[in-house]
Structure 1
Amino acid sequence: MDSPMQSKKTNRQEWIFQLILHLTVFHFVLIDHEEGQMVYELQWFQLVFFANYVCANLLISYVLLPRFLYKKRHWEFGLYCMMTVVAVILVEEFVLEKIFYPTTRGSDFQGAILSLGEVLSVLGALTGVKFAWDSIHRQREIDELRLVVKDSELSFLNSQINPHFLFNNLNNLYSYAVEQSPKTPEIILGLSGVLRYMLYECREPFVPLLKEVEQLRNFIQLYELQIEERGAVDFTTKNVSDNYQIAPLILNVFVENAFKHSQSGQSDEIRISVSLSVDATGKLHFSCVNNYEPHEASEGESKGIGLENVKKRLALLYPERHSLSIEKSGQEYRVALQIQLQTP
């Protein structure tokens, strides 16, 4: 919504615009044609005739439009507009012309068609521009509302990242603590580093690509501690620099799922491959491949929110600038993501 100051400024701009519009239309009303020449005839009583149109326009623009047309009460709007036009014609023909042209135009009725054409042309110009002004203003409000909704949705999605990450890792940490594994302190230290990045360096909507890749490497090392000697993890990067920015933590979910799926169904020969590169056009190519043993999910196993979260974030942050492919082939799970990055 507009603030009171913005609303006051908008109203002032509208009335200035309306004043210019009415002066412009009045200028064309004054033009007359005599023997092929345009002649300006300005008489003081012409202001009275034009004031009749102005009153009708104000009634249509500031009463009938918002009260009926914008509320989709079209039949009532049409009926009241017709009554307004008829009233303008009656005032002009039987009042104003009787006063200012008693022996010429006011001596007899010139015809409804002729009067209707003149009235509709003037009111159509005045009211049509008001309708266009309102449409532009409403579209701007809709765009602002969409931006607010987008920011709110992104904030909600971002707020889910840390709890989701903590939930998975605290479960793993608990199992290591129960087993009194000597790697428990190292896991806690790695978890602390990743959380520090999430809390203090991910407040902006975009972060330098190099910093995000470094965080992803730490993230992988943290999970790599959990599989111990049960498999191999490969992480490669190419052409990564600070020349580009990326949404923070947009890649972590795919890596997290790779470890989770691989560990849930097999105890050894875990293979996870993560690669990341940037081409000359600034397009990020991300790939995450892991093997897994299909198994039936337990009744209480959580479906998870991570993958749906990242899909929504990609749609909001990179509309029509990303492609995501997730495939299961045999005992392999493949994720391929391409993002057109932006520069700082």
Structure 2
Amino acid sequence: MDSSATQHKSVKKEWIFQIIIHLLVFHFVIMDHEKGQLRYELHWYQLWFFLNYVWANLLISYVFLPKFFYSKKYLQFGLYTLFVLVGVLFIEEFLLDPYVFPGTRMADFKGVLLSSGKILSVLVALAGMKIAWDATQRQRELDELKVMVKESELSYLNSQINPHFLFNNLNNLYSYAVEQSPKTPEIILGLSGVLRYMLYECRETTVLLSKEIEHLRNFIQLYELQIEGRGTVEFDTENIAEDYQISPLILNVFVENAFKHSQSGQSDQIKIAVSIKVNESGELTFICQNNYFPVESPLKGIGLENVKKRLNLLYPEQYELKIDQNGEEFFVKLKIKLSKA
């Protein structure tokens, strides 16, 4: 649905809302009390009196409110509204009353006060509902804007993950191709599968945990080819039910970080251990450990900062992240409360 159609639908809803509110207020206007009993008497002239309130409300609600009140020009709003109230009072006391009730004397001070109170109460009710409607619409637009900002930020953070992974593995693929290694087809196939998952199967907010773990296993195998017997890589899973869901590509960054920093300063004895467990209450515990030569701190990478931002957006107050750098070992422990499909 385009913006013009959406706007037309919103305007239509607002006018339906206004008609209902005017009918309700008119219902209260014609109510009367007599000896403790409610009585309804509808006369033709009551419509004329109420139409006098309607034009004033439309002027206040659709001209003065957006032009002055919402622009914080409260003095101008108050003055123009006062002029309208005086105009409504003049029409009621000096035009409608003499016409509807000919022969009656002109309104005295007490009558003017009573009429002013009635006019003010009706206009406050009508204009107040307009303010409430506008506030509701602004809140809805604000909520939509927050969703758009969140989606844009997540898209930006995701876009920073894929090129980094692709750059590293294309360099490795180039090296294997130059050496005419028999592992080149295996790398191409693995890279194709991982990228297919990243580009096409991760468009939803959540994916099945089983699929995410399958992707992570392929992701680790692809990186494991780079070690070539220079160390050990362990990947264990436990109690992975089919109906649990997780936001995609959350765990990739920690694994990629482990491989990158283990290889950056070591030529052999690389040790990487990854485990994923889910308890009976649906809480996932992810642990990633790796040794490294402390050339530079792993915490300086943008990948870890990005994943923290993504966790704050996707799992606010629903996760625990512990990152320790102890001597020559890097330890990550992440707990997430999973949802079910």
Length-normalised TM-score, structure 1: 0.88
1:325 corresponding residue in structure 2: 322
2:48 corresponding residue in structure 1: 48
2:97 corresponding residue in structure 1: 97
1:83 aligns with 2:83: yes
**Range that drifts further, 189-198 or 276-285:** 189-198
Residue 322 of structure 1, CA deviation: 2.3
d(CA) in 2 for partners of 1:250 and 1:207? Answer: 11
| Aligned alpha-carbon RMSD (Å) | 2.7
d(CA) in 2 for partners of 1:291 and 1:62? Answer: 67
1:170 aligns with 2:170: yes
1:18 aligns with 2:18: yes
Residue 175 of structure 1, CA deviation: 4.8
Residue 276 of structure 1, CA deviation: 0.2
Residue 30 of structure 1, CA deviation: 1.5
2:336 corresponding residue in structure 1: 339
1:158 corresponding residue in structure 2: 158
1:156-235 matches, cutoff 5 A: 156-175=156-175, 183-235=183-235
1:106 aligns with 2:103: no
Which blocks of at least 5 consecutive residues in structure 1 are unaligned?
Answer: none
The alignment partner of 1:287 has SS state of strand
Residue 151 of structure 1, CA deviation: 2.6
C-alpha contact (below 8 Å) 2:98/2:104 kept by paired residues: no
Residue 114 of structure 1, CA deviation: 2.7
Cα deviations by residue, 1:217-271 (Å, 9 ceiling, x for unpaired) = 1211222222233322221110113211222222111001011112222333322
Opposite residue 328 of structure 2, the aligned amino acid is: Q
C-alpha contact (below 8 Å) 2:277/2:284 kept by paired residues: yes
**Range that drifts further, 254-263 or 92-101:** 92-101
Cα deviations by residue, 1:88-122 (Å, 9 ceiling, x for unpaired) = 22222233223334544635343554333211211
The alignment partner of 2:45 has SS state of helix
Which blocks of at least 5 consecutive residues in structure 2 are unaligned?
Answer: none
1:8 corresponding residue in structure 2: 8
The alignment partner of 2:267 has SS state of coil
C-alpha contact (below 8 Å) 1:238/1:278 kept by paired residues: yes
The structure 2 residue matched to 1:314, chosen from 311, 316, 326, is 311
Residue 292 of structure 1, CA deviation: 1.9
C-alpha contact (below 8 Å) 2:154/2:310 kept by paired residues: yes
1:252 corresponding residue in structure 2: 252
The alignment partner of 1:268 has SS state of coil
Residues 35 and 105 (structure 1 numbering): CA distance in 2 closer, same or farther, change over 3 Å? farther
* Aligned residues between the structures: 341
Cα deviations by residue, 1:168-188 (Å, 9 ceiling, x for unpaired) = 222344455566666555434
d(CA) in 2 for partners of 1:107 and 1:70? Answer: 36
Opposite residue 44 of structure 2, the aligned amino acid is: W
Cα deviations by residue, 1:31-78 (Å, 9 ceiling, x for unpaired) = 223333333333222221111111111111111112222233233222
